[in-house]
Chains A and B, each alone.
Chain A
Amino acid sequence: MNAQTAAAIEAQGVSHAFSQATAPLAVLSDVSLTIRAGEMVSLLGPSGCGKSTLLNIIGGLLPPNAGSVRLDGQALSGIMPHKMSFVFQENALFPWNTVLENLLVALEFQGVPPAQRAPRAAAALAAVHMSEFSGFYPAQLSGGMKQRVALARGLSLQTDILLMDEPFAALDEQTRMVFGEDLSVMLAETGKTIVMVTHSLSEAVFLSDRIFVMTSRPGKIKAVVEVKKEHPRTPDFVVSEQFAAIRSELYELLHDEIRRSVESAQQIPKRDDG
């Protein structure tokens, strides 16, 4: 579907600040990155480093104060629902819709003709093994199941690019492991370009081809770490020396940043998977 070397997403000198009562809060400072088509990358950084903001800017949900984003060589000026879809955390499922309706309504928003919606939704639910829960409401599902539905909703939109905002954040440790393995298998099959925001070192290593390590706020790209291991990845990879070495490298890169972010925020970060 995509040429391996083509640049799918290019961010050039992106800076952003949120206005607030006192002084504007700078969250991103001169971020430039290139993500190749078919590549799976993670944006990794301490809490509040602006990685979710960067994802929203890449996805066209938020225009940056400075800099630009190019998508397949064309300047991005807003959301591109046919090219990029978001997988949000499980709390972004519509609580008044069933699992199936959550997918159907997203397809409706994207402008898919009515006749194609049901088969596409069914196929996406089958891909995440949630077909038998089609008629359930989100409140009746566990966190892991809801996250699968959120993933299915993103997949059903059949975009080349999938943007995932902390897909593991609401999951417990064991569900994370299983979900991560399934994700690796599924994503390897789809050949999509994937950008994932995470603050978990293990998940970043397990799933990414490249990891963009960000500094504490205002976020900059501190380093790019490559994970040379073909997909799909199995649990064997987690106990390999390669995995441990990359994980340590990330930890060293992040350690000072996390401390700085904690001290500047005067608070304990929500979760820094250790």
Chain B
Amino acid sequence: MAKSDRLATRLVQAGFFITLLAAWTIESALHLINPILFPRIGDVATNFLTVITTAATLTDIWTTMSTFGTAYIIAIVLGITVGYIVSTSRLFTKTYEPMLAAFYTVPLLIFFPTFILFFGTGVKSKMALGCLAAFFPIALNTIAGFNSVDLNLRTAAMSFGASRLQMLRRVLLPGAFPIILTGLRVAFIPCFASVLAGEIIASDSGLGHQISQNAQMMETARMFAYVILVIIIAAAFNLLLSTWETRRGRATA
């Protein structure tokens, strides 16, 4: 894409965002909607500043992000391991890949009550849900990634005497890496969403807990402040992952 095109795209995107904010400002000034249902922009801004300057918010961010981080890392380890094992034989791939793909379509939130029974309303039940949500896209992309490695390259490595571990480290992982990385990025959203959903449904701490608490207490402006905070965190993380992905993609192209 030409530089001027990219600039034009960015301008339109910024314009859309500004229009939304302007519409919200006008709505707030004219008192069109009951502020308990939809808060005024000024109130949300004030609340947002209060939220981000309160020390307790750090605890909430830490709770949510550490729960998410743990779930995500466990899912990466499990997903890549299971994906690798399944990809080692054509029979395994034929048998297990469709099963994993079928499971991926199940709305995994339905298992949350089970996790609460097992792990209680603390962070562990959210970890389990987030981990489950991230596992499937990571495992599926890992299988696709390993199977996409050119047979010529495997044959060459084999002919030079590569051991199983060398084959994995030097051929399969670098060959599959771009697709595995896509899996990690795709898995981020369901993982993060599941942790937040878990916190909103039943919890005693975290950003999701704050959102549901404030909603129940009709503190809509404060609730919106937390919503905006979550959006910022999610967008920043996603940007980080996609930047890494494109940079890796360019390096090996």
Residues of A within 8 A of B (CB): 59, 61, 79, 81-82, 85-86, 88-89, 91-92, 94-97, 105-106, 108-111, 139, 157
Q: By DSSP majority rule, is chain B's interface helix, strand, loop, or mixed? A: helix
**In the complex, which of the residues B152, B175, B252 contacts A88, with contact meaning CB atoms closer than 8 Å?**
B152
Q: A86-B156, A89-B152 are in contact. Are A96 and B161 (CB under 8 A)?
A: no
Nearest opposing residue in chain B for A81, CB measure:
B161
Determine if B122 is an interface residue (Cβ-Cβ < 8 Å): no
Q: A105-B170, A108-B170 are in contact. Are A92 and B160 (CB under 8 A)?
A: no
Residues of B within 8 A of A (CB): 150, 152-153, 155-163, 166, 170-171, 174-175, 177, 252-253
A88 to B156, CA, bound (A): 7
A106-B156, A108-B166 provided; 10 other pairs, C-beta below 8 A? A59-B159, A61-B159, A86-B156, A88-B156, A94-B170, A94-B174, A109-B160, A109-B162, A109-B166, A110-B160
Q: A95-B252, A96-B252 are in contact. Are A85 and B152 (CB under 8 A)?
A: no
A106 to B156, CA, bound (A): 9
A88 to B162, CA, bound (A): 16
Contact between A109 and B161, CB atoms less than 8 A apart: yes
Residues of A within 8 A of B177 (CB): 96
A93 to B156, CA, bound (A): 8
Interface centre among B155, B161, B166, B253 (most CB of A within 10 A): B161
Nearest opposing residue in chain B for A61, CB measure:
B159
Q: Nearest Cβ in chain B — how far from A23, in angstroms?
A: 21
- For chains A and B in complex, what number of residue pairs have CB atoms within 8 angstroms? 55
Q: By DSSP majority rule, is chain A's interface helix, strand, loop, or mixed? A: loop
Interface centre among A85, A89, A94, A139 (most CB of B within 10 A): A94
Residues of A within 8 A of B159 (CB): 59, 61, 79, 81, 85-86, 88
Nearest opposing residue in chain B for A108, CB measure:
B166
Nearest opposing residue in chain A for B152, CB measure:
A92
Q: Nearest Cβ in chain A — how far from B149, in angstroms?
A: 10
Closest 4 pairs between A and B when the two form their complex, measured CB to CB: A81-B161, A109-B160, A109-B162, A92-B156
Contact between A111 and B152, CB atoms less than 8 A apart: no
Q: Nearest Cβ in chain A — how far from B158, in angstroms?
A: 7
Residues of A within 8 A of B152 (CB): 88-89, 91-92
A128 to B209, CA, bound (A): 66
A59 to B159, CA, bound (A): 8
Contact between B155 and A88, CB atoms less than 8 A apart: yes
Q: Nearest Cβ in chain B — how far from A238, in angstroms?
A: 31
Contact between B175 and A96, CB atoms less than 8 A apart: yes
Residues of A within 8 A of B153 (CB): 92, 94
Residues of A within 8 A of B175 (CB): 96
Q: List 6 A-B contacts (CB under 8 A).
A: A79-B159, A86-B156, A92-B155, A92-B156, A96-B177, A105-B170
Contact between B155 and A81, CB atoms less than 8 A apart: no
Q: Nearest Cβ in chain B — how far from A104, in angstroms?
A: 10
Residues of B within 8 A of A85 (CB): 159-160
Nearest opposing residue in chain B for A95, CB measure:
B252
Residues of A within 8 A of B166 (CB): 108-109
